[in-house]
Structure 1
Amino acid sequence: MPVGAPQEDQVNLMELVQVLRAGWKPIAAAAVALAVISAAYVSFVAVPIYTASAVVMLDTRKPQAVDFAGMVNGLTGDSAELNTEVEVIRSRGLAQKVVEKLDLVSDPEFNTSLREPGLIGKMLGALRDAQPPSAERQLESTVSNLLTAVTVKNQPSSYVFAISVTSEDPQKAKLLADTLADTYIVNQIEMKFDATEQATEWLANRVSTLKLELEAAEEKVKAFNTQTSLVSAETLTLLEAQLKDLRERLGATERERDAAVDRLAQLEAQTDPVERLKLANDAQMSDLARRLDRGEAGVTAEDLAARYDQVVARARLDVARLKDQAAALERSRQALSAQISSQGDDQIKLQQLTREAEASRALYEYFLSRLKESSAQQGIQQADSRVLSAAVRPQFPTAPRKKLVVVMATLLGALIGVGAVLGRHMMRSGFRSARELEDEIGGVVMGQIPLVEGADRGAILAYLRDKPASAAMEAIRNLRTSVLLSNVDKPPQVILSTSSLPGEGKTTNSLGLAMNLVGIGKSVLLIEGDIRRNTLGQYFPQFEKRPGLVSLLSGRATLETVVAHDDSIGLSLIMGERSAVNAADLFMSDAWKSLVEELRTRFNYIIIDTPPVLVVPDARIIASSADAVLFTVKWDDTSRGQLQEAVSMFETVNQPITGFVLAQIDPERMKAYGYGGKYGRYGAYASYGSKYYVE
């Protein structure tokens, strides 16, 4: 895998568990700290709070003193009304009545302006130059504080309310709960009384108005009866019957008149004697005609014509008479129709006035009845609720709940500790196992070296020398084996040891590897490649003033005078020494290359401890003369970014890194993280090696 290749995002639960297990100390410390703080707070700082509760029941079944619906209806008890009553109990108006009744404005518990301000309050008051709040503002604040202490709950599936009030004084809590319940019930009665009184007053005004309207309506009926000659309804019916009979007579007369007019016209138009005789239909004229036909003496045609003229004259008289009769009947009909129409209009007007008077009377009587009912109800109003049980003086405080507070604080502290541990874990960029390191860089981890404890570098050297069977030396032996077998055909002779930054353990690793190689009977030379710091001088202070590498390369000293030998460990050394000469130029010189070639002939193995890669370029230059490059990574410290940058620097000069060393492993922490047993995982099964290590 190439350096810096992105890892697939996934959540490893076992890894998180191991991280939390490794960080149990800060988690426990945070939990204990918050537990102690909370216990101290609830024991010595927090003010105990007492809660008293009065129980009120909404009574929806009320006996009626009189058998009529009240002007102000009672509650039905549906969910909306129950919720409304809860809000009424918690209303500012009701709370203000309690404040005024108990004079809570004078109580520092509810009127915070009466309390002695703390240090911060005094400082803020001095900065603001605040004036004391007005009486109105103190009242509003006291009401708000009381409402904060009030809790109203409706018991499920019931008409019962629990009115709870908290206070620093148990007796005060009981008094407040009872007073609030009583005030709520009295408020219901007062509201009903006020509503009834307002309704009574409105009804009284309405009744007076309706009475005047009724009197005015009746006066209109009376005045109309006086001003008009009205007949009764029965008489009007008879007149209508007369009008019908008159219309029938008029019709018959008009038909008779028309027939008479037609007969007169026929009589006047006829000239034939025979036809005249038939039309006349007169007995006398018929007798004269028979006598004339018999030829009786004294009867002439003139007599017959004279008689016909009489018949026509009589017909004219009949027509005139019938016309007069029809005209008279028509006049009578018109007069009677006009009389009936006038009487009908007056009757309708009278009926309308009468109905209006009756409606006014009914409305007046209804409101008068409601006025009497309302007046009767003013003295019998009842509240919709009643106190089911008065509050009891609490014996024990309800807050703070010490055990719960301590437990919750402990849990909170543990959560804070867990958050801190996980946050630190998520933010970490170091490596805790060889697998992590190999996955990151795509290289081979040749060694995993535990942290060697020591007060100073001399103590570390003594540890490595005196405890060859220790876990650290066993891990270095594994490193030695891996290095020597890295190239079977041509085992590396010149080995370079470097790291990203100082303090990552490369010098200790170089020294331990050199001592291990000496242990198998090889001649080994350890060269201080970091001439700027002269770290080996802290391990071997007896050689610190000895001529070093710079003197050798500059020709001021010979190899025999520069090489130091420590008989206690059988190791040869070339110390570093400070110089104004540029180290990079020094290691790029032919003298350096010649020196390396000469040393190859004198020693079996040459180990060069170089400066950090990210600080100076010396290591990359020296690497060109080495057979193997060991790169030390400090366990759980060297960041991925630092490692990637350092490895990239080697890649730019085409110098491969032979292997990596995970150094300064903390055994206990590594075990906590789940990477190994007692001594950490320094090999595939190194956790089983505790029986083989001698510390």
Structure 2
Amino acid sequence: MSNTSVERGGKSPGRVASLSNEQLDLKRLFAMLLAGKWWIATCVGIGVLLAIAYLFITPYVYTADALLKIEGGGKSPLSSLVGQGLDGLSGGSDAALSEIPIITSRSVLGQSVDDLNLTINVSPQLLPVIGEAFNDPQKTINVSKFDLPENLENRSFELSVVSPNTYRLAQTDGSEILTGTVGKTATGKTPAGNEVSLLVSSISADVGSSFSLSKRSWLSAVNNLKGRLAVVELGNGSGILQLSMTGRDKSYVPKLLNSVAKNYVQQNIEARSKDAEKSLDFLDSQLPKLKQKVNAAESRLADYKENNQPVDLSSESQALLQRASNLERRKSELKLEIAQLTEQYTSEYPAVKADRRQLNQISEQSLALQKKINKLPSNEKELLSYQRDVKVNTDLYTSLLNKAQELRVVKAGTIGNVRIVDPAVVPLGPTSPRPKVVVFALTFLGLLVGLGIVVLRAFLKSGVNDPAELETHTGYSVYAVIPFSNWMAKESRKRAGRQDQPEPILARDHGDDVVVEALRSLRTSLHFAQLESGSNVVLMTGPAPGVGKSFLSLNLGYLLADADRRILIVDADMRRGHLHDVFSKSDRGYGLSELLVDQAGTEDVRRNVKGTNLDVITSGQIPPNPSELLMKNKFSKLVDGWRAEYDLVIIDAPPVLAVTDASIISGSIDKIITFMVLHAGEHPMPEIDEAIARFTRQGGDIAGLILNRYKAEQATASYGHGHYQYAYSSDKS
């Protein structure tokens, strides 16, 4: 090739050294996402479909809750006698927290298990996975009793509806056990001889409906109920407990929770009634003794007044009397409290220890007060002592009488220290799954996955898309950027496998395509290249197969022929050439291989594209030694003859990195213009470098590069630059 051509292929000044160092900007990111819009849309669509499928097959779960108020439990029934000293001992949070284990105890939950027959499990027989979506909650069958031996517990049986009032119980293998009527107990035996008793109270299902029936142990039912029940205190020290429970039946869950709350309240009333009974027995044993003390104190006071002259107590003595009476009364109350508590608890019980601490404090106060009393005159001191005994014993006796009356009310079992503030009600909607949350979450997840795929594909894709980068890196000019043709891709897919339909020629069959305009630009660039080199022979090759060099050769040739020039296209790819598909897909016919081995003449292998100045010599039959045939002098002589006969000869050669045919052709023909055709986005830069280096090492000379199948959005997404290409057709309106 002439020096002029080499200068044209010189490096472009002012280009950026390498786009690999460019920073990711918003434009590049937007273009990247735009290029992968179908990936994103597909992933979002899959996310929406998964959300719909999840909502379709997942049963709804409902949550009901109730509120209980604990009115300072844990005190002794006699604690009110002691005064305010023990108020902080067992109220508020401690009382509420101590009640949680009682609520979840077997005694409370077991009662609900018995009341609602929770040991019996009846569920409709559904299809796996999707069956729940077609379940009708209105179709039910109520079983009131199901008695069977322990060895058959947790075993499933089939309960089917025979008629609106009759049913059939069978084993899962179909062996009938019994048939029965609604409202009547039916009995039967299993094939193994185990007796089974069943009572169905109602049927609300179609004839032929089947249900799975099983019975579990009482303890297993209690543990299951305990696992579904949650109890927490609302606020620190509030004494308010929240009970919550989940389940699939929104009407049954509040019923079950209210049963637990009711049984707990009833248990609390019964427990307080028993405590009251014990305290009442204790008081009944103490009241006679205390009455005797009252009588004895009154007698001593009366005797003193009778035998001594009346004495009026001073105001100071009356104040000391009042204080001494209060202290003695509280001491007596504490002693009674301690005596009552020690009948149920050990001496280490917190309430017992607290009472004793307070008793010690009051005793110390009494000693201090007694010292003041000892300083009074003897007659006042003696009278004060008698009056104090009468007042203390009388007040204590009266207080115990009132307490005994209160305990008789408590014993009657009508009150407790727990009340239901809010009973459970039917929930308005499910707690899970929440349709809006599920759809949003999976849609957002699909969006993230789609974005991740797009970004990952963009950064893993090492193929070069940018013409500027090619020119900067290789030093060769990009003569043309040929966009990807959607029309050509659709037509090729449509005609694939159909032997009766030849391949289309884009420039002929869809001339207003933007790709054709790009080919016209290539035609213009080729014209100037010819003027500079003085050659009318063009070689099309590429690094690897599938770059589209045959497409370019054919359509460029058609456009040149359309400009009243005689054009010849030679398919020199005698291994995988397919230019014959334009004429016939089923017959390769005679071509270049036959011409080189003298099996045919030029007129025998030359084919004309009808109505044009374009002739095509196809590759012919596949020979065993293509490279050797091209190395013969005959090929160069044939090209010299065609050079004289045609205005332009285009040779479609095999890829450079696959075989050496392109280098052989370039070395055997003088003044040949060679274009390296690249598939946009497919070739890494090292592959392009190797193709150019290998071609030049073997004596070839490259005029320039052609970037084929260019997609602007992909190029911008990968490199941040685009190639400007516009459609500019005539206004047909």
TM-score with structure 1 length normalisation? 0.58
Check if 1:47 corresponds to 2:59.
yes
1:550 equivalent among 593, 597, 601 = 593
2:536 equivalent among 490, 493, 502 = 493
Does the C-alpha gap of structure 1 residues 462 and 87 become closer, same or farther in structure 2, counting only changes over 3 Å?
Answer: farther
**Corresponding letter in the other structure for 2:424:** A
Does the C-alpha gap of structure 1 residues 182 and 614 become closer, same or farther in structure 2, counting only changes over 3 Å?
Answer: farther
**What residue number does 1:107 align with?**
121
In 2, Cα distance between equivalents of 1:10 and 1:492: 44
Check if 1:574 corresponds to 2:589.
no
Does the C-alpha gap of structure 1 residues 434 and 183 become closer, same or farther in structure 2, counting only changes over 3 Å?
Answer: farther
1:74 equivalent among 90, 94, 98 = 90
**What residue number does 1:234 align with?**
none
How far the C-alpha of 1:595 sits from its partner, in A, is 3.4
Structure 2 stretches of 5 or more lacking a match? Answer: 1-10, 124-152, 160-171, 174-213, 283-330, 344-402
2:249 equivalent among 148, 169, 176 = 169
Instruction: Count residues in correspondence.
Output: 508
Structure 1 stretches of 5 or more lacking a match? Answer: 124-134, 204-362
**What residue number does 2:225 align with?**
146
Check if 1:57 corresponds to 2:64.
no
**Residues 314-393 of structure 1: pairs in structure 2 closer than 5 A:** 370-372=338-340, 386-393=419-426
Does the C-alpha gap of structure 1 residues 137 and 11 become closer, same or farther in structure 2, counting only changes over 3 Å?
Answer: farther
Structure number with the higher helix fraction is 1
SS at match of 1:7: helix
TM-score with structure 2 length normalisation? 0.56
Of all paired residues, the percent bearing the same amino acid is: 26
2:663 equivalent among 589, 614, 620 = 620
SS at match of 1:77: helix
In 1, Cα distance between equivalents of 2:534 and 2:103: 93
Q: Deviations over 1:160-182 (max 9, x none)?
A: 43322122233421133223445
2:570, 2:617 within 8 Å by CA — same for their partners in 1?
A: yes
**Corresponding letter in the other structure for 2:480:** G
**What residue number does 2:582 align with?**
539
Q: Deviations over 1:382-416 (max 9, x none)?
A: 97754321112335444443344344444444444
SS at match of 2:664: helix
Does the C-alpha gap of structure 1 residues 487 and 621 become closer, same or farther in structure 2, counting only changes over 3 Å?
Answer: same
In 1, Cα distance between equivalents of 2:88 and 2:269: 11
**What residue number does 2:308 align with?**
none
SS at match of 2:508: helix
In 1, Cα distance between equivalents of 2:529 and 2:279: 109
Does the C-alpha gap of structure 1 residues 459 and 473 become closer, same or farther in structure 2, counting only changes over 3 Å?
Answer: farther
**Residues 465-484 of structure 1: pairs in structure 2 closer than 5 A:** 465-484=508-527
Does the C-alpha gap of structure 1 residues 108 and 506 become closer, same or farther in structure 2, counting only changes over 3 Å?
Answer: same
In 2, Cα distance between equivalents of 1:441 and 1:47: 63
How far the C-alpha of 1:524 sits from its partner, in A, is 2.5
In 2, Cα distance between equivalents of 1:443 and 1:140: 86
How far the C-alpha of 1:53 sits from its partner, in A, is 1.0
In 1, Cα distance between equivalents of 2:118 and 2:457: 52
**What residue number does 2:704 align with?**
659
1:533, 1:578 within 8 Å by CA — same for their partners in 2?
A: no
How far the C-alpha of 1:464 sits from its partner, in A, is 1.4
2:571 equivalent among 505, 510, 528 = 528
In 2, Cα distance between equivalents of 1:137 and 1:37: 36
In 2, Cα distance between equivalents of 1:426 and 1:198: 82
In 2, Cα distance between equivalents of 1:650 and 1:474: 30
In 2, Cα distance between equivalents of 1:46 and 1:103: 26
How far the C-alpha of 1:420 sits from its partner, in A, is 4.2
SS at match of 1:107: strand
Q: Deviations over 1:6-29 (max 9, x none)?
A: 933854444343343344445444
2:663, 2:699 within 8 Å by CA — same for their partners in 1?
A: no
In 2, Cα distance between equivalents of 1:116 and 1:441: 79
Does the C-alpha gap of structure 1 residues 400 and 566 become closer, same or farther in structure 2, counting only changes over 3 Å?
Answer: closer
How far the C-alpha of 1:468 sits from its partner, in A, is 4.4
Check if 1:20 corresponds to 2:33.
yes
Q: Deviations over 1:404-462 (max 9, x none)?
A: 43444444444444444444444444455545666776654322223252345976544
**Corresponding letter in the other structure for 1:18:** A
**What residue number does 1:632 align with?**
677
In 2, Cα distance between equivalents of 1:542 and 1:74: 98
In 2, Cα distance between equivalents of 1:648 and 1:185: 93
In 2, Cα distance between equivalents of 1:596 and 1:577: 17
**Residues 185-334 of structure 1: pairs in structure 2 closer than 5 A:** none
1:534, 1:578 within 8 Å by CA — same for their partners in 2?
A: no
2:19, 2:469 within 8 Å by CA — same for their partners in 1?
A: no
**Corresponding letter in the other structure for 1:582:** N
In 2, Cα distance between equivalents of 1:562 and 1:26: 47
Q: Deviations over 1:9-62 (max 9, x none)?
A: 85444434334334444544444454355446545x443433221012354599
**Corresponding letter in the other structure for 1:74:** S
**What residue number does 2:315 align with?**
none
